[in-house]
Amino acid sequence: MINSSSTPIRLCTAAIALVCLCFTGCRTAPAGPTADETPSYSEIAEVHNQRIERLSELYARGVIEIRWRDGDGRHFEQGNLDLWLQLPRHTALRVEKLGNVFLWLGSNDERFWLFDMLGDQTVLLTAPHDAAIDAAGLFAVRPLALVDLAGLTVLPEPHGNDDPEVHYDESLDAWLLTAPGQGGDTRLYLHRTSLLPVRVESIMANGDIAYRSDLQLTRYRTAARPGVPPSQYGRMPTLIDITAMQSPGEGITHGEIKIALGSPTGRVENQPMDRVFDLERLMRSMRPDHIESDIPADQLP
C-alpha cells in the first residue's frame, strides 16, 4: 500500500487535482446584451464543437510550476513538460527536470494513470475512468477533467427543450451554460463575441465548485495541422493558471499550477502519438517499483 501522505504523492495529488484549471485576464465588460442578442445553445454548440474537431490531435511543449501548501508548509516545483492530446480520451502529460522525468499523467479509452518518480522509487497509480473514488482522494480529478477545464470537451448535440440554458455573465463578458463534461458537470463561460472559453468550472455533486480554469483570451494560439490550410486551424489556450477551489487531496490545503505552452501543433511527423498512450509500453519503460491498481497483479503488463 502506498503512503499517500508522503511528499511526492502529495505533490502528485495537487498535480492531478490541478492538471486541470485557472486562466485569468482583465476585461472591461460592456453593457449586457438584450434577450434578442443571446445566441441559442445550438449556435454556441456548433461553433464550439467545430473548434474542438480542428484540435482532435495536439502536441505542445512548455513549462509548469506547481505550488501547494500542507501541514509541512509551502512547497514549489517546476519543470519542462510535453503535452499530447488525442481527443476525446487519450491524454499524456510528461514533466521533467534537469532531463529526468518526475511525473507522467495520462489516459486511454478505458483508464487513467499516474507515474510518480519524485521519491526514491517509481510509483504507479491507475484506475478505470468510471471507478468509484472518494472525492477527497488522490484521483478526485482525473485526466479527462484536464480536457474539460481546457475547454476541449465537445458539447452535447442540441435536443430542443432539454438543451442547457444560456445566460450572460457581465463580469467576464461571456455566455454562461452548464453541461456534462468527461470529468463531471462543467460550467462554461464563452467569450461573448469569439465564443472561446474564458473560464471553466468543475462542479461537485452538491453544486460547489471543485476546480476553476480561467483561460486568458489573449493567449489563445492556432494549432497548425499538416496538410490542412490555416483557415481550418483550431485555437488552443497556451497560458493556464490552475487553482483548486476545494482541497485537492488528503493533507493538501491549497494548490495551484501554472502551465505555459509554446505554439501547439497537430501530429508531429516521425513521432507516433499512440506510444505515449500505451500503458503497457510506459510500464516497461518506467518500471514502477510499487503499483496501486484495480488490475490483478498477474494480469498487469
Q: Where are the domains of the chain?
A: 7-295
Q: Among 66-70, 145-149, 288-292, where is mean pLDDT lowest?
A: 66-70
Summarised one tens digit per residue, pLDDT across range 184-197 is: 899 999 999 999 99
Confidence band, pLDDT 50/70/90 cuts, at residue 22: very low
Q: Mean pLDDT, the chain, as a whole number?
A: 81
Summarised one tens digit per residue, pLDDT across range 91-100 is: 999 999 988 8
CA-to-CA distance for 256 and 33, rounded, in angstroms?
34
**What pLDDT is recorded for position 178?**
96
**What pLDDT is recorded for position 210?**
82
C-alpha cell at 168: 450572460
Q: pTM above the 0.85 mark?
A: no
Question: CA dihedral defined by 38, 41, 46, 47, rounded to 10 degrees?
Answer: 40
β-bridge pairing 184-191 and 174-181: antiparallel
Residue of 238, 236, 271 lying closest to 54 (CA atoms): 236
The answer to whether residue 64 scores a pLDDT higher than 70 is yes
Residue of 186, 12, 227 lying closest to 113 (CA atoms): 12
Instruction: Give percent of the chain with pLDDT exceeding 70.
Output: 77
Summarised one tens digit per residue, pLDDT across range 108-132 is: 998 999 898 877 889 898 888 877 5
The reply to whether omega before 229 is within 30° of 0 (cis) is: no
The CATH number assigned to the domain with range 7-295 reads: 2.50.20.10
Summarised one tens digit per residue, pLDDT across range 226-273 is: 888 888 899 999 988 878 876 666 566 567 888 899 989 876 655 667
